[in-house]
A and B are shown apart, each in its own frame.
Chain A
Amino acid sequence: MAEKFIYMDHAATTPVKKEVLEAMLPYFTEHYGNASSVYSIGRESKKAIEEARDRVAKAIGAQSKEIFFTGSGTEADNWAIKGIAYANKTKGNHIITTSIEHHAVLHACQYLESDGFEVTYLPVNENGLVTPEQVSAAIKPNTILITIMFANNEIGTIQPIAEIGRIAREKGVYFHTDAVQAVGNIAINVAEMNIDLLSLSSHKFYGPKGVGALYIRKGVKITSFLHGGAQERGRRASTENVAGIVGLGKAIELATGKLNEYNAKLLALRERTIEEVMKNIPFVKLNGDRHQRLPGNVNFSFEFIEGESLLLMLDMKGIAASSGSACTSGSLDPSHVLLAIGLPHEIAHGSLRLSFGEDNTNEDIDYLMEVLPMIVGRLREMSPLYETVKRGNKNV
């Protein structure tokens, strides 16, 4: 194992912050009460949950009673999509989404297709963007839901959410956004952006894993997700994950409190990385929009090499990153996002995503720029595809 460890995969997950962990700990031990119980330690748990709810509401410009805690971002997505579909099926059966959503959205939509719903998967341009006009043109009399992610987890592209929200509201169609990658990275106000439902996940902003939330605007018609007790006002039954919820609340407060500072830091790392990689490594492409992207996200395709090899070699040098190659996604095809922005398979296989966070420094980028060009060069020397290029015959 390399002694160095540099984590550049914050889009996959983030470490729990010290203050967050400290806020959580008492709720495992002395404050273990069930929030539904009447005695004092039960009431304390209840109070902690409601405080966390207030914090989440404040962070996204919602009211507290519009926030419902869930077991993950995936659960929030599933609830939003299936819950709206089933509660509104007498109104219509058409759903609009995009081809670059996270699988939590795509597979929920595919499931609904198998149950009689009709789904439009809007294509994106070569930068991974949909336009408000595309959304507008796709709306039909039987459209009941538009679900479009705030920011993409692979290529970081940020969608024109406020414009889409305005269109959805005008047309009277519910609008859900998977903001799992956006919360804690971009300023969000659900009221101003006309968002009806929003999914978020604690482990993407230095909170614990296995806890998320769904914002459901007051008055939105949606079915309950888990049937059981009266928790979450009967809409998502089960004894609350008190410590997790407290952690989420603390984490979102910290994240949105220092948003500008955090943004500026990540942006500097991102810009430097893009500039230096593009300058120092030939046959490279930046995936995603140059500017409309998450402050901490870069995604490159290096021609003639394969992503998993790249990740293994980076790992040997102590750098943790991710890729959209088939061999890392575990299926035959490379990432659906990279294919949707029009990359040929062979270019998509050679992708590398670096996502920066709190713990990254300029020295980390120095080190990255020391090892990355070397690794890419080494893999290319090993590649039969590069051979042809070197001989001046780019006809591979």
Chain B
Amino acid sequence: MYSEKVMDHFMNPRNVGEIEDADGVGQVGNAKCGDIMKMYLKIDNNVIVDAKFKTFGCGAAVATSSMATELVVGKTVEEALKITNKAVAEALDGLPPAKMHCSNLAEEAINAAIEDYKRRNGLLDESNDCTACGRRCDDVHHHDFDEDEE
């Protein structure tokens, strides 16, 4: 079901953990729908120099978190904001259609952590509402495939 790359990032996730003195922290998803991602960013001179994550979720959720942290490091804040869920999924050689919601969470976690960074540094454009934190399960989950049980 999962690509080798997804399984690799799931079994050997990069950058698991916390950053004590992070410059931005974002948490998205909720336990009710089964996936929570928390991302920590260290930002120096507008460049993301370190990223770590903690995730409660399925294999796809863990792998996309891992990949997202790899993708953001070395990017400027503006570049990082342009990372889409599709880009994360593609970097993992694709995800099963049913699991695309998990890559949504990765994109949202990046956005939320950067928003936190901007808020802390007075860089937030007040007219810009938080796009990630208000999302509910229904928005990030898929519901359009067959149930599959034993």
Residues of A within 8 A of B (CB): 9, 11-13, 103, 153, 304-306, 308-309, 312-313, 316, 322, 325-332, 334, 344-346, 349, 381-385, 387, 396
Contact = CB atoms under 8 A, between A and B. Distances in A.
Given A312-B10, A382-B16, A332 B55 contact: no
Given A330-B145, A345-B34, A382-B16, A309 B54 contact: no
B34 A327 contact: yes
Given A13-B150, A330-B147, A331-B147, A382 B54 contact: yes
B11 interface: yes
Contacts of A330: 98, 145-149
B31 interface: yes
Contacts of A349: 31, 34
A346 B34 CA distance: 7
Given A309-B59, A331-B147, 13 more contacts: A13-B150, A304-B56, A325-B58, A327-B35, A327-B57, A330-B98, A330-B146, A330-B147, A332-B137, A332-B141, A382-B16, A383-B36, A383-B54
A11 B13 contact: no
B46 to A, nearest CB: 26
Contact of A309 (B33, B58, B98, B143): B58
B56 A385 contact: yes
Among B11, B27, B99, B149, chain A packs the most CB atoms within 10 A around the CB of B149
Grouping DSSP codes into helix (H, G, I), strand (E, B) and loop, the B interface class, with mixed when no group exceeds half, is: mixed
Contact of B13 (A12, A346, A382): A382
A345 B31 contact: yes
Contacts of A313: 11
Nearest to A312: B59
| For the complex of A and B, 10 pairs with smallest distance between CB atoms | A346-B31, A327-B58, A12-B150, A308-B58, A384-B38, A384-B54, A345-B32, A383-B56, A326-B34, A349-B34
Nearest to B6: A312
Contacts, number: 95
Contacts of B38: 384, 387
Contact of A385 (B36, B62, B145, B146): B36
A103 B33 CA distance: 21
Interface string B9-31: 01101001010000000010001
A345 B33 contact: yes
Given A329-B147, A384-B56, A316 B31 contact: no
Given A332-B33, A332-B137, A322 B150 contact: yes
A103 B31 contact: no
Given A316-B11, A382-B55, A387-B54, A153 B150 contact: yes
A247 B37 CA distance: 49
Interface in B72-92: none
Given A326-B34, A345-B31, A309 B150 contact: no
16 contacts: A9-B150, A312-B10, A325-B58, A327-B34, A327-B35, A327-B59, A327-B99, A330-B146, A331-B147, A332-B33, A332-B141, A346-B31, A346-B34, A382-B16, A383-B54, A383-B55
A308 B55 contact: no
B19 to A, nearest CB: 13
A383 B62 CA distance: 10
Contacts of B143: 331-332
Contacts of B32: 344-346
Contacts of B145: 330
A103 B147 contact: yes
Given A325-B34, A330-B147, A331-B143, A308 B13 contact: no
B55 A334 contact: no
Contacts of A332: 33, 137-138, 141, 143
B147 A334 contact: no
Contacts of B35: 306, 327
Contacts of A382: 13, 16, 54-56, 62
